[in-house]
Structure 1
């Protein structure tokens, strides 16, 4: 929830064919992430394949970005793009590394591209439009070139949230495809200055509306808007989409699935930097002695770096970065609501979030979720999705839970409460921050009680 001046990237054109053919590509399989109750390894292997664009010498990855308050979003000059095929010839995922300022904390940021029946493309949450990013699309997707003359133009570019880390790429990406329509989530805002979208390079955009049957993609993709102006300094807004043919749910930050292993797009250097015992580790070591030892490049240290990254992303100030494995194990490999989103946003407006979740699960028969961060696609059922939000029922009270029409929903609520009981020691910093923000009026207290 940050904002600052967005610096557009230089404009690139797709490379000529002879240059594209000289690019180096490699391929390796990637399994779809599944909850244990829905694990289907053979189907996962068939559904998801990884294609890494690796232009010789790292060329085509330049993107200048030094914006973001209070911390700019890295990498500042170089962003590698990876592509995954989530549904054969229909849905592709493009990922880049995104770092928090000058820290060693990184995660992946994801753009989802859906091929519509028209042959055009629906681009969800665009990422930095580096030359490599455009080149991957242009070169490797069969019948999916992002150039109008080749028959598969970008028709729609969609910003599904207010969040700065997704907003800053919409303007530069849309300039690559000026014929595309730009659609944005309602109630856009920024902080510390509430700047208009035009300041971010987004012009002539249209606003996404809740359950809009007049949207040009409505026959194939449905949408539901969560808009919560009551949260505090600015509204929390997220638009969920449902691709009917593939039964795929697209969200931005509503839920996540932390994988055991780090995403491919996070660099080795970032992982090893996080594995070093720096100041953050010394402050968050539970008083234990922190050894001063060099970090060698091996699988163990890369994994330690990933676990430390995850805990800092989820909790801001976890209890023990020196030995992160125990807390990481409790937070990984399951569908959850991020502790930050749960504490600072969803817990403030449980009625609105519950209504949004119920409408999603009642109207859409999805079996796959694609969030904008961490693992994707996630093969889950609607009941798994509901379970991740079981903590809402605690906030809404027993009368609301009892009024729900199904015993299975009540059971899922109980499972969800257990799954949302994050490690208390790790939650201490986040809880203190929440109390401070409430005390200064930056966010509001929980809005309890359903309107009669």
Structure 2
């Protein structure tokens, strides 16, 4: 917020919390319409690496916060507009896995789009046409091998850099990114806590 935001100095020893945290700033990277930046922090006492976007690990099941209102997961668990939205554990997990593919790829190869005309025809078959259900519109169809695509993405819980960051952002200034990554890799940490998806991931720099 304006008036409450300050820039971190490049030298992390100059901040009031230097005894507890070290940090490394990536950026800013010019994107044309804006800029991207990331700050990695090391909590020295717990040997924990804290990051925002650059490292993720995708869980098999949905994060608990999404279960406060599982409706979006249940919506995407369906295979067609004519299927009812039913709250079951299986549907929550399936909806999460498909949503994860959306989040990382925007338009996954295992997803087929339905023509606009066909999507309108399918509205008549939809058991729910509320605003929450997009008035019955369900303009896509998952291919039979969508789950294999999720398994490849998840990689058994491995840590990785999101494809959108790799292909659209970090590749714009590779030297700056490599220098930042080398600095982070020089720290002594035993776990990583990203802001998104799985957290408290057991990992070391080597």
Query: TM-score band, normalised by the shorter chain?
Result: 0.7 to 0.9
Q: Aligned pair 1:343/2:163, yes or no?
A: no
Deviation per residue, 1:52-78 (Å, 9 max, x gap): xxxxxxxxxxxxxxxxxxxxxxxxxxx
Q: Aligned pair 1:354/2:178, yes or no?
A: yes
Distance in 2 separating the partners of 1:272 and 1:230:
38
RMSD: 1.6
Match of 1:329 among 151, 156, 161: 151
Report the equivalent of 1:294.
Answer: 84
Q: Aligned pair 1:316/2:124, yes or no?
A: no
Q: Cα 1:275–1:220, aligned 2, differ >3 Å: closer, same or farther?
A: same
Deviation per residue, 1:87-109 (Å, 9 max, x gap): xxxxxxxxxxxxxxxxxxxxxxx
SS at match of 2:60: coil
Q: CA deviation at 1:300?
A: 2.0
Report the equivalent of 1:204.
Answer: 4
Distance in 2 separating the partners of 1:353 and 1:316:
24
Give the TM-score normalised by the residue count of structure 2.
0.77
Distance in 2 separating the partners of 1:240 and 1:224:
5
Report the equivalent of 1:245.
Answer: 45
Q: Does structure 2 retain, via aligned residues, the 8 Å contact 1:241–1:249?
A: yes
Q: Does structure 2 retain, via aligned residues, the 8 Å contact 1:251–1:371?
A: yes
Q: Does structure 2 retain, via aligned residues, the 8 Å contact 1:241–1:251?
A: yes
Q: Aligned pair 1:231/2:39, yes or no?
A: no
Report the equivalent of 1:260.
Answer: 60
SS at match of 2:180: helix
Distance in 1 separating the partners of 2:29 and 2:162:
20
Q: Does structure 1 retain, via aligned residues, the 8 Å contact 2:29–2:35?
A: yes
Match of 1:374 among 191, 197, 201: 197
Q: CA deviation at 1:233?
A: 2.1
Report the equivalent of 1:305.
Answer: 95
Q: Which runs of 4+ in 1 moved over 3 A?
A: 228-231
Q: CA deviation at 1:345?
A: 0.6
Give the TM-score normalised by the residue count of structure 1.
0.36
Q: Does structure 1 retain, via aligned residues, the 8 Å contact 2:25–2:39?
A: yes
Q: Cα 1:303–1:213, aligned 2, differ >3 Å: closer, same or farther?
A: same
Distance in 2 separating the partners of 1:229 and 1:251:
17
Distance in 2 separating the partners of 1:330 and 1:224:
30
Q: Aligned pair 1:271/2:73, yes or no?
A: yes
Q: Does structure 2 retain, via aligned residues, the 8 Å contact 1:211–1:225?
A: no
Number of aligned residue pairs: give it: 170
Q: Does structure 2 retain, via aligned residues, the 8 Å contact 1:209–1:225?
A: no
Q: Cα 1:204–1:300, aligned 2, differ >3 Å: closer, same or farther?
A: closer
Report the equivalent of 1:215.
Answer: 15
